Amino acid sequence: MSNPLANLEPKEAFYYFGELTKYPRPSKKEDKAVAFVEAWAKENNLELEKDKRGNIIIRKPATPGMENKQSVCIQGHLDMVCVASEGVDYDFENKGIEAYVDGDYVKAKNTSLGADDGIAIAMGMALLASKDIPHPALELLCTMDEETGLTGAIQLSNNLIKSRLLVNIDSEVEGVFTIGCAGGINTEAHFKYEAAPVPANHAAYKISVGGLKGGHSGMEINDGRANALKLLNRILYNAIKKCNIKVSDFNGGAKHNAIPSSASSVVLVPCGQEKAFEELVKEMSETVKKEFITKEPDVKIEAVKTDMPKRIMAEAFQNRLIASFYTVAHGVLRMSPDVKGLVQSSTNFAIVETREDEVFVLTSQRSTIDSEKINIVDKVCAAFELAGATTNSNDGYPAWEPNVNSKLLELGRKVYKEKFGKEPVIEVIHAGLECGLIGDKYHGMDMISIGPNLSDVHSPAEKLQISSTKRIWDFLVELLKNIPDINVI
Average pLDDT over residues 127-138: 96
- Tell which of 393, 414, 432 closes a domain: 393
Q: Is the pLDDT of residue 398 over 90?
A: no
* pLDDT > 90 fraction of the chain, expressed in percent and rounded: 89
CB 221 within 8 A of CB 350: no
Q: Is the residue at 453 inside a domain? A: yes
Calpha distance 170→150 (Å, rounded): 13
Indicate the residue type of 167: V
Average pLDDT over residues 272-289: 97
- What secondary structure does DSSP assign to 144-180, as a single string? S--TTT-HHHHT--TTS---SEEEE----STTEEEEE
pLDDT at 340: 85
Both 337 and 194 in one domain: the answer is yes
Q: Is the pLDDT of residue 64 over 90?
A: yes
**Does 307 participate in catalysis according to the annotation?**
no
Domain hosting 406: range is: 11-181+399-481
β-pair partners for 74: 140, 167
Q: Is the residue at 1 inside a domain? A: no
Calpha distance 353→488 (Å, rounded): 54
Q: Is the residue at 119 inside a domain? A: yes
pTM above 0.85, yes or no: no
Q: Is the residue at 6 inside a domain? A: no
Q: Is the residue at 488 inside a domain? A: no
Both 164 and 312 in one domain: the answer is no
Lowest mean pLDDT among 147-161, 306-320, 408-422: 147-161
Query: How does pLDDT run across 92-106, given as a tens digit for each residue?
Result: 999 999 999 999 999
Both 129 and 268 in one domain: the answer is no
Average pLDDT over residues 361-381: 95
Would you place residue 210 in the very low, low, confident or very high pLDDT band (cuts 50, 70, 90)? very high
Calpha distance 343→125 (Å, rounded): 34
DSSP state of 310: S
DSSP state of 363: E
pLDDT at 257: 87
Q: Is the residue at 49 inside a domain? A: yes
Q: What does the buried/exposed string (b/e) look like for 151-187 if buried means 16 or more CB atoms within 10 Å of the residue's CB?
A: bbbbbbeeebbebbbbbbbbbbbbbbbbbbbbbbbbb
Q: Is the pLDDT of residue 235 over 80?
A: yes
pLDDT at 331: 97
Would you place residue 149 in the very low, low, confident or very high pLDDT band (cuts 50, 70, 90)? confident
Both 219 and 71 in one domain: the answer is no
Average pLDDT over residues 356-363: 98
Average pLDDT over residues 205-221: 93
Q: Is the residue at 4 inside a domain? A: no
Q: Is the pLDDT of residue 489 over 90?
A: no
DSSP three-state, residue 383: helix
pLDDT at 249: 98
DSSP three-state, residue 38: helix
More confident residue, 76 or 336: 76
How far, rounded to the nearest angstrom, does the alpha carbon of residue 37 sit from its chain's CA centroid? 22
DSSP state of 23: S
Give the CA angle between residues 199, 201, 202 to the nearest 5°.
75
Would you place residue 338 in the very low, low, confident or very high pLDDT band (cuts 50, 70, 90)? confident
More confident residue, 399 or 24: 24
- What secondary structure does DSSP assign to 97-108, as a single string? --EEEETTEEEE
Q: Which of 350, 83, 362 is nearest to 230 (CA)?
A: 350
Both 220 and 311 in one domain: the answer is yes
Both 263 and 404 in one domain: the answer is no
DSSP three-state, residue 396: coil
Calpha distance 309→234 (Å, rounded): 22
* pLDDT > 70 fraction of the chain, expressed in percent and rounded: 99
CB 482 within 8 A of CB 426: no
Would you place residue 69 in the very low, low, confident or very high pLDDT band (cuts 50, 70, 90)? very high
Both 373 and 253 in one domain: the answer is yes
Q: Is the residue at 486 inside a domain? A: no
Burial of 131 (0-12, 13-18, 19+ CB in 10 A): exposed
Give one word for 145, left, alpha or beta, with left for phi > 0 and alpha for psi -120 to 50.
left
Average pLDDT over residues 148-167: 94
DSSP state of 52: T
pLDDT at 325: 98
Q: Is the pLDDT of residue 399 over 70?
A: yes
Both 202 and 54 in one domain: the answer is no
Mean pLDDT, the chain, integer? 95
Phi, psi of 220, rounded to the nearest 5 degrees: -110, 10
**Does 146 participate in catalysis according to the annotation?**
yes
Both 106 and 248 in one domain: the answer is no
Calpha distance 251→260 (Å, rounded): 10
Average pLDDT over residues 209-216: 93
Would you place residue 179 in the very low, low, confident or very high pLDDT band (cuts 50, 70, 90)? very high
Calpha distance 147→57 (Å, rounded): 19
Query: Where does 224-301 have alpha helices with state H?
Result: 228-243, 274-291
CB 354 within 8 A of CB 251: yes
Burial of 360 (0-12, 13-18, 19+ CB in 10 A): middle
Torsion of CA 166, 186, 223, 472, to 10 degrees: 20
Calpha distance 415→410 (Å, rounded): 9
Average pLDDT over residues 394-400: 86
Both 434 and 382 in one domain: the answer is no
Angstrom CA distances, 458 to 114, 315, 330, stand at 8, 36, 18
Tell me how many domains the chain contains.
2
The H-or-E segment that residue 128 falls in is: helix 115-129
Q: Which of 427, 197, 175 is nearest to 310 (CA)?
A: 197
Active-site option among 79, 188, 296, 456: 79
**Domain at 325, CATH number:** 3.30.70.360
pLDDT at 218: 87
Query: How does pLDDT run across 434-443, given as a tens digit for each residue?
Result: 999 999 899 9
β-pair partners for 49: 57
β-pair partners for 447: 166
**Domain at 437, CATH number:** 3.40.630.10
Both 166 and 243 in one domain: the answer is no
Q: Is the pLDDT of residue 206 over 60?
A: yes
DSSP three-state, residue 110: coil
- Tell which of 373, 393, 413 closes a domain: 393
Calpha distance 111→238 (Å, rounded): 33
Both 243 and 290 in one domain: the answer is yes
Active-site option among 30, 145, 146, 434: 146
pLDDT at 216: 85
Query: Where does 292-369 have alpha helices with state H?
Result: 315-327
- Tell which of 348, 363, 393 closes a domain: 393
Calpha distance 85→134 (Å, rounded): 42
pLDDT at 488: 60
